[in-house]
Structure 1
Amino acid sequence: MGIRSGIVNALLKSDRVVTDCSSQEEIAATLRLLRPALTGLDFVRIGGFGDGGYLVPNDLAGIKYCFSPGVSEVADFEEQLASDFGIYSFLADASVDAPPADNSFFDFEKKFLGCRDQAEFMKLSTWMEKKIPAGDAGDLILQMDIEGSEYDVFIDSSIETLRRFRIMVVEFHGMDMMFHAKSLKFLKAIFEKLAGEFVVAHIHPNNCKTAVQRFGISVPPVMEVTFLRKDRVKPVRDGDVLLFPHELDRKNVPSKEDVILPDIWWKQVP
């Protein structure tokens, strides 16, 4: 069981689920850690125009390797990194036997990413040490969609490990946990850790689930967040503005109503 799953189960069994709620001020403070910032860079969409496609800053030159835990039915993201940028991808997922595409730029590991090196699990740092050639200190990109285990990975990984990634694209699950006081502390600690070294370049709500509302605050349970390491941020240019949804954003589930990023996530609102 992952750390997030343990917290959710504890909350469901607790008789304080209703009363032990986060305050509006605490939630707003946590959301500020995820407020997108202008980076002085344009965006490119990698991975097609549906689920599995993400917006990333156009700062991929010089990146040689992508680490991509969580293997779906498509590998459009990794295939485009290979074809357009010559980036080699390391993929991992114990629930499948191989990637969905045969590509010479792919390396597959039949393991889950987590917070321990045991049985079918491995740590991010262990995986990186195993795959990156000795002496190669170049920047990397991380694309992670591992159904809630992303929290385990961020808790376990040192900031030195995370700083190897110039860009991180992460799908966060169970974001509505923040309405519970105990789980909000857990989420805030993770986002504070990331905010020390990265800015949020883009956020896109996955419309696989409808937003949860409380205190007038709307929280999409599944959020795709693109991080850019702070040293890669460029001066803001004339005409640069934050706009959500971005013109390159697309619905994850075409048949469902889209979820638009609520104002409190990106505008300076009370």
Structure 2
Amino acid sequence: MNTKKSAWNKVQNAIGLSEANAADLNDERFLYLKTRIAKLEKSFRFARIPESDIGINEMLKSVLPLMAPKDPVGMEFERVGRSYDGGYVMVKHDAKDRIAYSLGINRDVSWDLDIANRGYDIFQYDHTIDKLPQDHIGFHWKKLGITAANQRTKELSSLDEQMRQNGHEDCTDMLLKLDIEGHEWSVFAELPSETLSKFTQIAVECHGFDRIQKLPWFRTTKEALENLYKTHQVVHIHGNNNSQLRVLGGFPMPKTFELTLLRRDICDFTACSRVFPTELDQPNNPNFADHFLGNFNYF
């Protein structure tokens, strides 16, 4: 009877019945509810708590070293583009071909304008707009989005295909900027090193880290970062403060990062001496505090 009463207390708390209802609860109904509560307790016991989940912790341990910034020896940094959202901190280094690819435009071409004013031709892609917010003689825009080659549609093309159409197969020193709302992972996961190596510097907004526990997202992201790591080194990192900083698997993580990567043959790299955000960084949203990331070297 004591065992039944103890179990009844769990049932009572779970379904909100008063103690007076106990007398009206027949044994069959009681056993059903007791079994149901036991199943619920078991499922809750193993439910993932993202902040402390050991699986997420292991996932992040496998990708965070690929994102850890290093200092480029003998190089300086500058901000390219506007203040706040739309600008990127990049290494001061000219790409000999004077060609840049800008994937994802929306309402902002400040990065494109800064680069075009240095004498570059900017090849721009965005299928979500009907015209550019501002024109420039160096702009070449197509109403196309960019994704992985195996995901192409009438609205979406691949970077390799557009480079072929533009006659850039033999170029070896170009710039690349991407803000394509998650498609960056599939793009980088499939691009061969031969194509990636054509870009001296890559500035990219990386989305979706709140989905780290989703295995398809994790696998594609890990493959993309490993692919980039072969040819480029992360030299700058910034957390986009338009979303909250979260703890995932024990690590403080923004939902979205901005990464700058420099091709490995351009210079030597040493351990990072900077703390992020740096004085060149701007919060994406000036109404919120910027995300403090330290030096982002966990290992």
Asked if 1:219 corresponds to 2:250, the answer is no
Q: Give the Cα–Cα distance (whole angstroms) in 2 for the partners of residues 53 and 232 of structure 1.
A: 23
Asked if 1:124 corresponds to 2:159, the answer is yes
Q: Give the Cα–Cα distance (whole angstroms) in 1 for the partners of residues 177 and 112 of structure 2.
A: 9
**Alignment correspondent of 2:189:** 155
Structure with bigger helix share is 2
Asked if 1:251 corresponds to 2:283, the answer is yes
Shift of 1:161: 1.1
**Alignment correspondent of 2:266:** 232
- From 59, 67, 89, give the equivalent of 2:122: 89
Shift of 1:236: 5.6
Amino acid at match of 2:277: P
Q: Secondary structure at the match of 2:68?
A: coil
Query: Aligned ranges for residues 11-160 of structure 1 at < 5 Å?
Result: 18=48, 22-40=55-73, 41-83=75-117, 85-116=118-149, 117-132=152-167, 136-160=170-194
Compared CA separation, residues 68 and 33, structure 1 to 2 (3 A):
same
**Alignment correspondent of 1:170:** 204
Tell whether the 8 Å contact from 1:64 to 1:138 is kept in structure 2 after alignment.
no
Tell whether the 8 Å contact from 2:95 to 2:174 is kept in structure 1 after alignment.
no
Tell whether the 8 Å contact from 2:239 to 2:254 is kept in structure 1 after alignment.
yes
Tell whether the 8 Å contact from 2:95 to 2:175 is kept in structure 1 after alignment.
no
Which segments of 5 or more consecutive residues in structure 2 lack a partner in the other structure? 1-45
TM-score between the two structures when normalised by the length of structure 1: 0.84
Shift of 1:190: 1.5
Tell which structure's C-alpha radius of gyration is larger. Answer: 2
Tell whether the 8 Å contact from 2:70 to 2:269 is kept in structure 1 after alignment.
no
Q: Secondary structure at the match of 1:132?
A: coil
1:223-268 per-position Cα deviation (integer Å, ceiling 9, x unaligned):
000011100124669xx822221110001111122112255x2355
Q: Give the Cα–Cα distance (whole angstroms) in 1 for the partners of residues 168 and 256 of structure 2.
A: 34
Which segments of 5 or more consecutive residues in structure 1 lack a partner in the other structure? 1-15
Compared CA separation, residues 17 and 75, structure 1 to 2 (3 A):
farther
Tell whether the 8 Å contact from 1:218 to 1:262 is kept in structure 2 after alignment.
no
Q: Give the Cα–Cα distance (whole angstroms) in 1 for the partners of residues 160 and 135 of structure 2.
A: 26
TM-score between the two structures when normalised by the length of structure 2: 0.76
Q: Give the Cα–Cα distance (whole angstroms) in 2 for the partners of residues 69 and 214 of structure 1.
A: 29
**Alignment correspondent of 1:11:** none
Q: Secondary structure at the match of 2:226?
A: helix
**Alignment correspondent of 1:13:** none
**Alignment correspondent of 2:30:** none
Tell whether the 8 Å contact from 1:48 to 1:77 is kept in structure 2 after alignment.
yes
Tell whether the 8 Å contact from 2:54 to 2:249 is kept in structure 1 after alignment.
no
Tell whether the 8 Å contact from 2:101 to 2:177 is kept in structure 1 after alignment.
yes
Q: Give the Cα–Cα distance (whole angstroms) in 1 for the partners of residues 111 and 216 of structure 2.
A: 35
CA RMSD of aligned residues (A): 2.4
Amino acid at match of 2:48: V
**Alignment correspondent of 2:222:** 188
Q: Give the Cα–Cα distance (whole angstroms) in 2 for the partners of residues 74 and 186 of structure 1.
A: 28
Q: How many pairs does the alignment contain?
A: 249
Tell whether the 8 Å contact from 1:50 to 1:250 is kept in structure 2 after alignment.
yes
Amino acid at match of 1:145: D
1:154-213 per-position Cα deviation (integer Å, ceiling 9, x unaligned):
123222111111100010110122244554333222111111111001001010101221
Asked if 1:266 corresponds to 2:297, the answer is yes
